[in-house]
Amino acid sequence: MIELLVVISIISMLSSIVLVAINAAKAKGVIAAALTFDSHNYSAYYLDASVAWDFDGDSGTTARDQSGNGNDLTLVGNASLVTTDTPSGYGKALSIPATDGISGAHTSNYGLIQPPTDGYTISLWLKYTGSPAGGTFVHIITNTSAFPRDYLGNLKTGAWVLRTQNDNILRYMYYYVGQGYTNVPGPIVSVNQWYQVTIVCDKSQNGGTFVFYSNAVKIGSSVIPSYSTNCIFNNTDAIYLASPSVVNNPPYSVDNIRIYRKALPLSMIEKLYAIESEKFKTVAKGK
């Protein structure tokens, strides 16, 4: 009887050891899969990117371009790098206070962004920390000094801007000289909530289509007009965060800004959203 109890005890102990080992292996597998996923897609952050600003290793008044193309951002006015509020809960984001046409950021170099004419992608995280004033346009990011005019005052085909008005609808607007605007609707944004925003210009879809994604979900689209044959991308001006031509912008924060020289597929947009979100970072850290 004693021998039987000993055997049972040993079997029970071995079972517990095996169970612990299996659970540990599963946990490691989840973490490893997440880290492998992160590592596998890390290069996608910068592959075919004209600019990539993640702000994490930056300080002072310069945000380095991680794409290697030298399009560093210069912070002006009261724009600052913060660690207290980011989409993933880690690293840094760029905080732009309620502006008077001074605070913001811009690239120091002109004409370095060279996407081809068959497609491009603009991706970033956005969070309003205050409400837009009635009637004002809020220029989040634009490629012209005074949309749709460049720093020389010329109207530019290929001028674009991501902005909202007092209706809190996020819009991507694209300008054609002598023809007008293409308006691509996005989500209605709320204060104090992060949104992952992606705008894709894809020449291969229906002869050319703009698509607006929010949190990796398609929100709106617009066919490129017949008088335009390409995804033209004006590159004669700098990139501006908080256009210097607009006053009374509400405070907002941005993070993980990238402009790609290609139209990213939805599968890659979903992967980048997963990598950068708080939920994925929690899994990757094994919490």
Cis peptide before 148 (omega within 30 of 0): yes
Q: Are 99 and 249 in contact (CB under 8 A)?
A: yes
Cβ neighbourhood burial of 128 (10 Å; 0-12, 13-18, 19+): buried
Burial 111-126 (b: 16+ CB within 10 A, else e): ebbebeeebbbbbbbb
Looking at the domain 47-284, which fold is it? Answer: Jelly Rolls (2.60.120)
Q: What is the pLDDT of residue 22?
A: 41
Q: What is the pLDDT of residue 133?
A: 53
pTM assigned to the model: 0.78
Domains of the chain, by residue range, sit at: 47-284
pLDDT digits (tens, 9 = 90+) for 146-180: 788 877 788 887 788 888 877 778 888 888 887 78
Q: Which residues of the chain have pLDDT under 50?
A: 4-8, 10-11, 13-40, 42, 135, 279-280, 282-287
pLDDT digits (tens, 9 = 90+) for 56-80: 989 889 999 988 888 899 998 888 9
